[in-house]
């Protein structure tokens, strides 16, 4: 990416952030009925920011606040009735559904984009060009904690260099999805790695250590690809695939590390606040315009049609709970 492109993108994102802070501050002076509140995943955060900015240009009475406290933190607020919409980089969990039910919070589950979890290494790493899922499992599973410490333990052809691992914090959707996809079991991750809620911090860590490896949402790789190498992952068909070009994510070629991103919308807010219904309607009709520019992947055309119909019908609950990593998104809308 050129310096000009980086500056242009930085100015765009900064503008969105400033808009968010401004609208949040102004919201205290606006009618409750005009307010829309969103919190949740860092992955997908900029999609909601872009939609909120454009929506407010068309509706100057609307007050949309967008925050990012992670998928788990956002869903906790959502199920407490504190926000109207939560962004999520994984499907809502059974225990979270139970918390929502205790507060009589019903939700409409709406996929809004796709993401490929990028496995990244240092630019000097010229050996980890394609990793098998079993190799990633050996690297990341819980029983490897304190035991699998060097690259040649993963593959004897690799050098005897100490692996330094970087990954999102354990309460994030990216952590949950990657762990399930790679190890086959929820929460089955080693703990002796460097965690962060800020995926830019993970990028910096990998970029600064020759033998480091990490995983991040695809946008964090594309924004920093001059600093990193992108590792291919062997698919179930035995081919080495990457999430770039993004068609590999859309066509479900990059398996099993392609995933849908969601917004969960409170049914109570939809029924009682016209502003929420209007905003979500705008979101579903227009978000695809900004998905690519902020580093994610648009849904297949047929998926947008199904998602919009689901919203119109107001169908509540999750259909993705039984979806396994790598399965086509259209099977579950």
pLDDT in tens, 150-194: 999 999 999 999 999 999 999 899 999 999 999 999 999 999 999
The domain in which residue 234 lies consists of 116-250
Of 327, 303, 319, 323, residue with least CA distance to 252: 327
Q: Which of 225, 250, 275 is the last residue of a domain?
A: 250
3-state secondary structure of 321: coil
pLDDT at 39: 97
Whether 158 and 122 map to the same domain: the answer is yes
Residues in the chain, total? 333
Sign of CA dihedral 292, 294, 295, 298: negative
Whether 32 and 83 map to the same domain: the answer is yes
Whether 136 and 213 map to the same domain: the answer is yes
Q: Which of 215, 250, 285 is the last residue of a domain?
A: 250
Whether 129 and 101 map to the same domain: the answer is no
In this predicted structure, the answer to whether residue 326 has a pLDDT above a threshold of 80 is no
| CATH number for 210 | 3.40.190.10
Whether 22 and 85 map to the same domain: the answer is yes
The partner residues of 165 in beta bridges, in order of sequence, read 213
Average pLDDT of every residue of the chain: 89
Whether 137 and 25 map to the same domain: the answer is no
Whether 193 and 280 map to the same domain: the answer is no
pLDDT at 196: 95
Of 141, 137, 119, residue with least CA distance to 128: 119
Whether 101 and 123 map to the same domain: the answer is no
pLDDT at 237: 87
Say what the pTM is. Answer: 0.82
Whether 145 and 78 map to the same domain: the answer is no
Whether 25 and 54 map to the same domain: the answer is yes
Whether 223 and 320 map to the same domain: the answer is no
State the Cα–Cα distance between residues 94 and 199, nearest whole angstrom: 26
Q: Which of 183, 218, 250 is the last residue of a domain?
A: 250
| 118 contacts 111 by C-beta, under 8 angstroms | no
Whether 179 and 241 map to the same domain: the answer is yes
Of 46, 158, 171, 174, residue with least CA distance to 118: 174
The partner residues of 64 in beta bridges, in order of sequence, read 36
Domain count across the chain: 2
């Amino acid at each position: 990416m050129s310096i000009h492109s980086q500056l242009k993108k930085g100015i765009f994102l900064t503008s969105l952030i400033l808009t968010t802070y401004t609208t949040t501050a102004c919201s205290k002076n606006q009618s409750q009925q005009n307010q829309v509140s969103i919190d949740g995943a860092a992955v997908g955060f900029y999609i909601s920011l872009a939609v909120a900015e454009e929506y407010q240009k068309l509706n100057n009475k609307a007050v949309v606040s967008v925050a990012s406290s992670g998928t788990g933190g956002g869903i906790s607020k959502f199920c407490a009735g504190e926000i109207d919409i939560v962004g999520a980089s994984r499907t809502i969990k059974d225990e979270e559904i139970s918390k929502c039910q205790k507060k009589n919070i019903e939700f409409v589950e709406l996929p809004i984009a796709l993401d490929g979890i990028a496995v990244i290494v240092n630019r000097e790493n010229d050996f980890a060009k394609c990793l098998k899922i079993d190799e990633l499992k050996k690297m990341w599973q819980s029983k490897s904690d304190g035991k699998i410490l060097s690259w040649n333990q993963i593959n004897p052809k690799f050098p005897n260099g100490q692996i330094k691992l970087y990954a999102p914090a354990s309460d994030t959707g990216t952590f949950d999805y990657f762990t399930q996809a790679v190890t086959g079991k929820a929460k089955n991750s080693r703990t002796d790695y460097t965690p962060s809620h800020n995926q830019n911090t993970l990028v910096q860590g990998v970029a600064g250590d020759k033998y480091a490896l990490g995983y991040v949402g695809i946008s964090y790789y594309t924004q920093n690809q001059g600093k990193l190498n992108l590792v291919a992952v062997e698919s179930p068909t035995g081919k080495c695939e990457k999430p770039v070009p993004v068609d590999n994510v859309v066509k479900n070629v990059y398996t099993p590390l392609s995933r849908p991103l969601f917004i969960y919308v409170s049914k109570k807010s939809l029924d009682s606040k016209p502003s929420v219904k209007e905003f979500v309607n705008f979101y579903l009709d227009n978000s695809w315009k900004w998905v690519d520019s902020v580093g994610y992947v648009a849904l297949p055309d047929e998926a947008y049609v199904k998602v919009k119909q689901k919203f119109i019908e107001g169908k509540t609950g999750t259909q993705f709970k039984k979806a396994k990593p790598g399965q086509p998104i259209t099977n579950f809308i």
